[in-house]
Chains A and B, each alone.
Chain A
Amino acid sequence: MTIGSMLGDIVESFFKKPVTIKYPFAKSEPPQDFRGKVVWNAETCTGCTLCVKDCPSNALELFVVDKTAKKFVMLYRADHCTFCGQCEVSCRSKSIELSNDQWELAATTLTPFEVYYGREEDVKTILEQAAQTEAGPSQGEQAE
Chain B
Amino acid sequence: MNISINPIVSLLIFPGGLVLLLSGLAYEFVDRKLVARFQNRIGPRWFQPLADLIKLLAKEEIMPTGVVKGLFIFLPIVAVTAILTAALYVPMFGFKPAFSFSGDLVVTVYLLSLMTLCTGLAGANTEDRFSLMGATRALTQMFSYEAPFLLALLGPAIALGTWNIGQINSAAGHNLWFILAQPFGFIAAVIGLMGKLELPPFDAPEAETEIVAGALTEYSGRGLALFHLGRDIELVIGLTLISSFYLGGLGSPLDFLWKTLILLLVTAGLQSLFARLRIDQTVGLWWRVGSIVVLLQLLAIIIGKVVGPLIPFLARG
**Chain A interfacial positions (CB closer than 8 Å to B):** 3-4, 6-7, 9-10, 13-14, 16, 18-20, 22
Contact = CB atoms under 8 A, between A and B. Distances in A.
B221 interface: no
Contact of B269 (A3, A10, A19, A20): A10
Contacts of A13: 37-40
14 contacts: A3-B274, A4-B273, A4-B274, A6-B272, A10-B39, A10-B269, A13-B39, A13-B40, A18-B36, A18-B41, A18-B42, A19-B41, A20-B42, A22-B42
A4 B41 CA distance: 19
A4 to B, nearest CB: 4
A5 B180 CA distance: 26
Contact of A14 (B37, B42, B273, B274): B37
A6 B41 contact: no
B273 A6 contact: yes
Given A6-B272, A6-B273, A14 B41 contact: no
A125 to B, nearest CB: 53
A13 B43 CA distance: 13
Interface of B: 36-43, 269, 272-274
- What 5 A-B pairs come out closest when comparing CB atoms? A13-B40, A4-B273, A10-B38, A18-B42, A20-B42
Contacts of B39: 10, 13
Given A13-B40, A18-B42, 20 more contacts: A3-B274, A6-B273, A7-B273, A10-B39, A10-B269, A10-B272, A10-B273, A13-B37, A13-B38, A13-B39, A14-B37, A18-B36, A18-B37, A18-B40, A18-B41, A18-B43, A19-B40, A19-B41, A20-B41, A20-B42
A113 B258 CA distance: 56
A110 to B, nearest CB: 32
A18 B272 CA distance: 16
Nearest to A13: B40
B203 to A, nearest CB: 17
Contacts of B37: 13-14, 18
A23 B273 CA distance: 29
Contacts of B43: 18
A22 B42 CA distance: 9
A10 B34 CA distance: 10
Contacts of A10: 38-39, 269, 272-273
Nearest to B40: A13
Residue from B38, B41, B42 having most chain A Cβ neighbours under 10 A:
B38
Contacts of B38: 10, 13-14
Contacts of B274: 3-4
Contacts of B41: 18-20
A115 B40 CA distance: 42
B289 to A, nearest CB: 12
Nearest to A22: B42
- Which interface residue of B36, B39, B40, B269 has the most chain A CB atoms within 10 A? B40
Nearest to A5: B273
Nearest to B34: A14
A78 B41 CA distance: 34
B227 to A, nearest CB: 29
A91 B273 CA distance: 55
Contacts of A9: 40
A83 to B, nearest CB: 29
A12 B273 CA distance: 13
A90 to B, nearest CB: 43
A10 B41 CA distance: 11
A22 to B, nearest CB: 8
Contacts of A4: 273-274
